Structures are given as structure tokens and as C-alpha cells.
A and B are shown apart, each in its own frame.
Chain A
Amino acid sequence: NAGVMQNPRHLVRRRGQEARLRCSPMKGHSHVYWYRQLPEEGLKFMVYLQKENIIDESGMPKERFSAEFPKEGPSILRIQQVVRGDSAAYFCASSPITGVNLEAFFGQGTRLTVV
């Protein structure tokens, strides 16, 4: 059972370009969470999704950021017109919907650098 897979691991974008970050949850997991990590700021919650549904996007900036988790395929975090301040590590976590141990498993993260 493969773990949570995030790609790419490193992404460099010029200001104004779009960044697409992918997250494939563990097999059988239908919850996906996205977090942004900046030095000295810990893990900031961005969005919580289930298949085809956004459950909580209270941590997402109102503009330029969007997320989806389609019925088939990975979850995508999309950042349009990137700015230098978007440079950070973005982590995805997945967990099952039912069961005794509802712990979240994390991917390796995508480090976005905006130049």
C-alpha cells in the first residue's frame, strides 16, 4: 500500500505563472487535507476535501487559490498568478472515512519556489 504521493517534490515558477500541486491519497482514503508550511509558522490549514466535495476551505486565500478532489485521479491544489509570497512547502494528508484509527498520513510535500 503506497503512502500519500505528492508531486512534484520541487516546483519553480515565475511570478504570474500557475502552479499545480498533486496529491494522491493512500488507497482507500477519501479525505484529503492541504496545508502550507512556512518557517516559524507551522502548518496552516488550507482546505479539507472529500471525493468531489469541498468540506472546509476556510484556510484558503479568497483569490488565486483553488482545490479539487475529483472522483477519479489525484487531488489538485492550484495557485494562479503566483507571487513570491506563495513560496512555501505544501503538504497533503489523507485519512479514511471510517474505522477505528482515523489518523492522517502525510505526503513528502511540494516545495514551491516563486522567482
Chain B
Amino acid sequence: AQSVSQHNHHVILSEAASLELGCNYSYGGTVNLFWYVQYPGQHLQLLLKYFSGDPLVKGIKGFEAEFIKSKFSFNLRKPSVQWSDTAEYFCAVRTGANNLFFGTGTRLTVIP
């Protein structure tokens, strides 16, 4: 079945630690890829997106993600997390039919 998979459900890190959140998808054809963040009590906001070109994309707040087509992956990274990064992170895929599917999310807790 077509899906978006986020394997880490809950990640706990200390401040200044490096972060990598996995995202794999199983849709064929051309896709657009996104990472959204949801801070506690708030709506989803776009962190970064990949449409084409350089597979390493940079987003806001020091986040970046790398699209690896052969692995159907779009992992999110940040070299040094801060307490304010505590949030839930969602990977999303926009298919050729313009539908938009999300993974189950990864909750990140950063300990000061």
C-alpha cells in the first residue's frame, strides 16, 4: 500500500545534540516532499520542501533534509537542537495526483 513512514515515534535529545528523523515513502512517480512542524497547541507550519534540483534542501531554523530517490527517503536533520525545537514533526508527500499524505509524526523532546 502507498504510505509515508516515520519510524521514530518519540525522540528525546539533550540540547546541542544532533538530530536525524527518518521518512520513507512508497509512492511512485514524481513526488514533492515536505517536512512540517507542529509546536504544542499550534497548527502545522512548513519547515522545508523539495520539488526538484539539489536533493539537499535547507529550511528554517537550521533544519535541512536530504532526498535520496533510490531509497525513497527524505530524512530531516539538524546539527544542534535547542529546547525550542520540542515539537511534533511530520513528513508529507504530494503525489502526482496532487493529493497530500502525511506520516504518523515524530515527537521530539529536547531536554535543556
State the A residues within 8 Å of B (CB). Answer: 31, 33, 35, 40-45, 48, 55-56, 91, 93, 95, 100-109
**Distance of B95 from chain A, by nearest CB (Å):** 10
| B55-104 interface with A by 8 A CB criterion | 90, 92, 94, 97-104
Find the B residue at minimum CB distance from A109.
B43
Which residues of chain B from 28 to 59 have a CB within 8 Å of any chain A CB? 32, 34, 36, 42-46, 49, 51
Contacts A43-B90, A45-B100, A48-B98 known; A103 to B46 CB distance under 8 Å? yes
| B98–A103 touching, CB < 8 Å | no
B100 touches A104 (CB 8 A): yes
B residues adjacent to A (C-beta < 8 A): 6, 9, 32, 34, 36, 42-46, 49, 51, 90, 92, 94, 97-105
Interface residues of B: mostly helix, strand, loop or mixed? strand
The 4 closest A-B pairs by CB, nearest first: A42-B104, A42-B105, A43-B102, A106-B44
User: Which residue of A40, A48, A109 contacts B100 across the interface (Cβ within 8 Å)?
Assistant: A48
Interface centre among A43, A103, A109 (most CB of B within 10 A): A43
From known contacts A41-B104, A102-B32, A102-B94, infer whether A55 and B99 are also in contact, taking CB-CB under 8 Å.
yes
Nearest residue, chain A, Cβ from B44: A106
A106-B45 CB under 8 A given contacts A42-B90, A56-B97: yes
Give the complex CA separation of A100 and B100 in angstroms: 16
Which residues from B are CB-within-8-Å of A55? 97-99
* B105 lies within 8 A of A43 (CB): yes
Smallest distance from the beta carbon of A18 to chain B beta carbons, Å? 25
**Interchain nearest-CB distance for B107 vs A (Å):** 9
User: Which residues on B sit within 8 Å (CB–CB) of A41?
Assistant: 104
B60 vs chain A, min Cβ distance (A): 13
